[in-house]
Structure 1
Amino acid sequence: MRILVVTGCPLARSAFQSLLTEREDVEALWIEECKNPEGYTARLGEADLALVADCTSLDAVLAAIRACKASGEVRVLVVTGDAGETVLRQYFQAGADGLLLKKSLESELTAALAALLHGAKYVSASLASEFAARYLTEPVAIAVKPSGEALTARQKEIIRLAALGHTSREIGDQLGISPKTVETHRTRLMAKLGLSSRAELVEHAMQHGLLPAPAG
């Protein structure tokens, strides 16, 4: 996924950089200043998701949300430290697709990203679902578990080749990476997808269109 982070806080920039740069499913990451709309609006056409951190004034955050939504298809997740209903209502009404409390950032970020990528709304588990239902018209995901669907093209290819029985060296030769890197990717992918054997890997690959289903 391609993520644009909009924030005016150096600490938030550092936190997002740390959390997102090591993720295998993040293909590209841009971090732009909230006070510089020309900088982040230029990136919106390339991004799948925009994360807006409310480290600046309420008006600046609302303006950033509206600018992101006005650009087209990008989904917007607001990361906030304010759980007050008045502020949260304004975020939703401005067009936010999800709301993640800062205290839950590390534990719920994967779930929030997965929900938005699959077209759902998201609110942190510590917020009442009744509140979310008053302001969100699409399905709301509360504490969604990470989905195995949001995989990069390379991750899908590793799954496909492994399911076909290729060795780590053969996969590495095809993808231009080392066998050790292939092993690391495969181990993490199987854990992420909840798979424990090659038979389960093959079944997953067929269910998700990475391998043809058996004839007859």
Structure 2
Amino acid sequence: MIKLGIVDDHAVVRSGLMMLLNAREDIEVVGEASEGDEAIAMAGELHPDVILMDLNMPHGKDGLTATKEIKQLLPETAILILTMHDDEEYLFQAIHAGASGYILKSAPHQELVTAIRTVSAGDAYLYPSATKRLMGEYLEQLRSGGAKERTDMLTERENEIVSLIAKGYSNKDIAEQLIISVKTVETHKSHVMEKLGFKTRPELVKYAMKKGLLNFE
């Protein structure tokens, strides 16, 4: 069962989302909040698996600030941004803040459910046009030469694992592809996160983009 928290300044929106999502057998809405400070308190008390987070809330802390603070408090809680803003600036700020996903309020209900299940499983979720924008930034970096920058921080094997993680492969898939154990994959991943000072998968994806590790040949 996925324990879900909902953060939105509109009571009607929260109520509608609760009715929609509580109807799913594998999702239970355990808490709600109308602004960032309430969201942080709710997360600390209830420890939800996933939080649906609005960005713009006029009272208290905004969604990006709340996302950063919740991720510091509860690194294992996945935060899915649910917003009306189809804007790349908000998208990149959300990823930088530690969000595991970004989806629009105009998205079909089933897509929202899929996004919740995806981030709950530890994967990143972006709506289709957002994925295109991220790849567009990556390609632009390639053209400018920025993504070719080398780093001595990671070993060749660690870079290989970062590339596969960023492409969405599970630990089991990576282990099978590299002919190593799942435990070895987890150890490499832990070392990578420690070396780079990262806490979230989206940070790793952004790093892979900047370092040219997302080739899809």
Q: Is residue 2:91 matched to residue 1:119?
A: no
Cα contact 2:8–2:53 (8 A) shared by 1: yes
Deviation by residue 1:20-46 (Cα, 9 ceiling, x = unmatched): 1211112452112214335323235x2
Residue 47 to residue 73, structure 1, CA distance change in 2 (3 Å)? same
Decide which of 99, 102, 105 is 1:99's aligned counterpart: 102
1:130 is displaced (CA, Å) by 3.2
Residue 139 to residue 114, structure 1, CA distance change in 2 (3 Å)? farther
Q: Is residue 2:45 matched to residue 1:43?
A: yes
Q: Whole-Å Cα distance in 2 between the matches of residues 119 and 35 of structure 1? A: 23
Provide the identity percentage: 25
Cα contact 1:132–1:140 (8 A) shared by 2: no
4+ long deviations beyond 4 Å: none
Larger Rg: 1
Q: Which amino acid aligns with 1:91?
A: A
Cα contact 2:55–2:64 (8 A) shared by 1: no
Residue 65 to residue 140, structure 1, CA distance change in 2 (3 Å)? farther
Deviation by residue 1:23-82 (Cα, 9 ceiling, x = unmatched): 1112452112214335323235x2111110234159611111112211221011000110
SS in 1 for 2:27: coil
SS in 2 for 1:4: strand
Q: Which amino acid aligns with 1:70?
A: Q
1:107 is displaced (CA, Å) by 3.0
Q: Whole-Å Cα distance in 2 between the matches of residues 94 and 52 of structure 1? A: 12
Aligned equivalent of 1:64: 66
Matches within 5 A, 1:92-171: 92-125=95-128, 127-133=129-135, 134=137, 139=166
| TM-score, length basis structure 2 | 0.56
Cα contact 1:98–1:123 (8 A) shared by 2: yes
Matches within 5 A, 1:197-208: none
Task: Tell me the matched-pair count.
Answer: 138
Segments of structure 2 that go 5 or more residues without pairing to the other structure are: 139-162, 169-217
Q: Is residue 2:3 matched to residue 1:2?
A: yes
Structure with greater contact order relative to length (CA < 8 Å, sep ≥ 6): 2
Q: Is residue 2:41 matched to residue 1:32?
A: no
Matches within 5 A, 1:10-25: 10-25=11-26
1:108 is displaced (CA, Å) by 0.5
Q: Whole-Å Cα distance in 2 between the matches of residues 35 and 102 of structure 1? A: 18
Q: Whole-Å Cα distance in 2 between the matches of residues 63 and 108 of structure 1? A: 25
Deviation by residue 1:146-184 (Cα, 9 ceiling, x = unmatched): xxxxxxxxxxxxxxxxxxxxxxxxxxxxxxxxxxxxxxx
Q: Which amino acid aligns with 2:9?
A: G
Q: Whole-Å Cα distance in 2 between the matches of residues 140 and 81 of structure 1? A: 27
| TM-score, length basis structure 1 | 0.56
1:11 is displaced (CA, Å) by 2.4
Segments of structure 1 that go 5 or more residues without pairing to the other structure are: 142-216
Aligned equivalent of 1:178: none
